[in-house]
Amino acid sequence: MDRLFVFDDYGALLGLVHNSLIAAALLGVVGGLVGVFVQMRDMQFAVHGISELSFAGAAGALLLGGSVALGSVIGSVLAAALIGGLGVRARDRNSVIGVLMPFGLGLGVLFLALYEGRAANKFGLLTGQIVAVDTVRLGWLIGVSVVVLAGMAVIWRPLMFTSVDPEVAAARGVPAGALSIAFTLLLGLAVSLAVQVVGALLVLSLLVTPAAAAFRVTASPVLAPVLSTVFALVSAVGGILLALGGTIPISPFVTTISFTIYLVCRAVSARRRRTGWGSRGTEPASAPVGSEPSAAAVG
Amino acid sequence: MTTSFPLRTARETAPGAVDPLRGGETSLTAARVHRGPGGTRTGWRTWTRSSRPSPRGILGPVTTSALSLRGAGMAFGDRVLWSGLDLELQPGEFLAVLGPNGAGKSTLLKAVLGQQPLSEGELLVADRATRRGSDRIGYVPQQKSMDAATPLRARDLVALGIDGHRWGPRRRTADERRRIDEALAAVGATGYADAPLGLLSGGEQQRVRIAQALATDPTLLLCDEPLLSLDLRHQRAVADMIDRRRSEHATAVVFVTHEINPVLDLVDRVLYIAAGGHRIGTPAEVLTSATLSDLYRTPVDVLNVRGRVVVVGTPDEPGGCTHHELTPQPLERQTAGRRGGGAA
């Protein structure tokens, strides 16, 4: 166990993972924001399904000697298009995902079995890797992040409307079907980012857990995405910084940090529920919702 | 332009007629019903809520109909829900839409919202062809409990009613923020404006929804069973809120319900749709044994009990009884059903 953390030469190591840190920070921002709608639209299962197909795409690229980043993007977008196109209703969607996911995973396993390169590459796709982000791939990650962030900025408000209040949103002319497909595609791109940093199996820790934690402590439409982003950022970057000192992959650190944040937020919300969150009526707006727990949860 | 009520054409600016929700930025001339103490119409007059005359206010057509349906029909293949529907809904008028499940009440709302095209006829909202997402229409759906983890406060839901359909980042203007505050105040929701939506009670959520529907200052308010699953006290409060809105702002109301008694004293006209066609008229005209027997094509009895209407013998209800109300209403309301008395 004493070999778990070795912080000699930490500065030199930091230079080596410079690209990975940037990638993790990007992923934190993207995952935190997209996660808000994953939570609101109950799409956790879709995240998992897309990540398995993204893994298959990346494994296929590895086998063919192509770009892993491009492969994972293709796999994700294909999965997202199928899920978004075939399953608009939640029940259809889940069955489509349930059918796609094992197929994608099987395909990925097949590609990896055929691949004769470094074993670390194979394992990295499933559980994440630290120093795997070279400059070319970082360019990909930045490009994809920019697309996702710009897309989310454009559709944010109508997507929020149709997610919370589909009937009234439809009455006000919000195109629910188009938004659902657009969001699923953006989600696919975000998943392909995450697959390359934390690996296909652990994508949920950056696309689901941070938003789930944030929703525990705030109901503000501004603070929820901000907190979710901060949580995802802390998990991703913190995970890499901790993993540098050890010999194990980054994913356990990322998942542990994000899970810890979630537990803290649950505790905060449980305490507040006891003492009364909805203190409205007697003291209207005396407790601005979500302003006080941010300090507790980030620390 | 057909109107079924006498309408004076002289335009006068009523004191206090500037709409607080809109702040006089739009000009709209509307007729308004005035009720005497007995609840009877004492006359009609037109008024303008414009403080700044706009070309449309001076030259444009005077709005005489909040909603107009001419020869409207809705059919899915061979299945005809309703046809030959003619209706001119005056500004400030309260129309209750009644009928058994599957009669096409909600489809009518969908048609008005521009979500479902008519299979025949014409449909105008405020003298213009309806279109999806029109801000002249406010919509209040059935109460459905919100997920407790919804990251929205009451105020945010109202705000979405104003700009939820707009793309891209934007800052709400001071005027919009004021309209949101006023809409919340108008339904008495200021006290919980910043509380999470998911933690509000059903009645509170429904008030917020009305504030949301009214935030764009619509000329027509569509309500789809807005009182369902609310207790009597909240039913009354929500109904009164809608009534106050239409009398103060001349907003016409189309109120789909399976239970007319909570709103019986507010209703101007009833549209009853059933398998045998439809009838439009005052509650006293439509809610009679003869009319409903005709509509249902089977003997139906309409009873008036303590100012409430009880329909017995409709084929679609297992107990053969609709519009019943088993829980007694508060005393002051039992005498309030002023139109119910004449319906026998």
Look at residue B212 and tell me whether its pLDDT is greater than 90.
yes
The reported pLDDT for the residue numbered B6 is 39
Look at residue A174 and tell me whether its pLDDT is greater than 90.
yes
Taking residue A266's Cβ as centre, other Cβ atoms within 10 Å add up to 14
- Percent of chain A's residues with pLDDT above 70: 85
Report CB contact under 8 Å: B133, A173. yes
B264-321 residue pLDDT tens? 889 999 999 988 889 999 998 998 888 888 888 888 888 888 878 888 877 765 444 4
**Residue A209 included in any domain:** yes
| Average pLDDT of chain A to the nearest whole number | 83
**What is the domain range of residue B135?**
67-343
Report CB contact under 8 Å: B196, A40. no
The reported pLDDT for the residue numbered B57 is 42
3-state secondary structure B280-304: EECHHHHCCHHHHHHHHCCCCEEEE
**Residue B4 included in any domain:** no
- Percent of chain B's residues with pLDDT above 70: 73
CA distance B176 to B104: 36
Whether residues B75 and B197 fall in one domain? yes
Confidence of residue B63 (pLDDT cuts 50, 70, 90): low
Look at residue A256 and tell me whether its pLDDT is greater than 70.
yes
Report CB contact under 8 Å: B167, A157. yes
Burial class (CB in 10 A: 0-12, 13-18, 19+), B202: middle
Report CB contact under 8 Å: B198, A165. no
Taking residue A247's Cβ as centre, other Cβ atoms within 10 Å add up to 9
A223-251 residue pLDDT tens? 999 999 999 999 999 988 888 777 777 78
B110-125 residue pLDDT tens? 999 999 999 999 999 9
Report chain B's C-alpha Rg in angstroms. Answer: 20
Look at residue B235 and tell me whether its pLDDT is greater than 60.
yes
The reported pLDDT for the residue numbered A231 is 97
- DSSP label at A141? H
- Average pLDDT estimate for A175-197: 91
- Mean pLDDT lowest among A204-218, A239-253, B128-142, B257-271: A239-253
CATH code (residue A72): 1.10.3470.10
The reported pLDDT for the residue numbered A220 is 87
**Residue B86 included in any domain:** yes
Whether residues B33 and B145 fall in one domain? no
Chain B residue numbers with beta carbons less than 8 Å from the beta carbon of A172 are: 133, 135, 139, 161, 164-165
Whether residues B259 and B280 fall in one domain? yes
- Average pLDDT estimate for B172-201: 91
- Average pLDDT estimate for A84-106: 82
The reported pLDDT for the residue numbered B60 is 43
Look at residue B224 and tell me whether its pLDDT is greater than 70.
yes
**Residue B134 included in any domain:** yes
**Residue A281 included in any domain:** no
CA distances to A146, A192, B194, B258, B262 from B100, in Å: 53, 51, 39, 7, 17
* Residues A197, A200, A203, A204, Cα dihedral to 10°: -160
In chain B, the residue whose alpha carbon lies closest to the alpha carbon of A161 is B164
Whether residues B72 and B180 fall in one domain? yes
Report CB contact under 8 Å: A285, B137. no
Of residues B53 and B217, the one with the higher pLDDT is B217
The reported pLDDT for the residue numbered A87 is 66
The reported pLDDT for the residue numbered B46 is 38
CA distances to A114, B61, B72, B222 from A122, in Å: 11, 72, 65, 58
Confidence of residue A277 (pLDDT cuts 50, 70, 90): low
The reported pLDDT for the residue numbered A7 is 67
**What is the domain range of residue A94?**
10-276+286-298
Whether residues B219 and B114 fall in one domain? yes
Of residues B8 and A159, the one with the higher pLDDT is A159
In chain B, the residue whose alpha carbon lies closest to the alpha carbon of A224 is B151
Nearest to B64, CA basis, from B93, B99, B95, B35 = B93
- Average pLDDT estimate for A18-33: 90
| Average pLDDT of chain B to the nearest whole number | 76
**Residue B6 included in any domain:** no
Total domain count, chain A: 1
The reported pLDDT for the residue numbered B21 is 42
**Residue A1 included in any domain:** no
* Residues B231, B232, B233, B236, Cα dihedral to 10°: 120
Whether residues B31 and B74 fall in one domain? no
Chain B residues with CB under 8 Å of a chain A CB are: 113, 115, 131-135, 137, 139, 141, 146-147, 149-153, 156-157, 160-161, 163-170, 190-200, 209, 212-213, 222
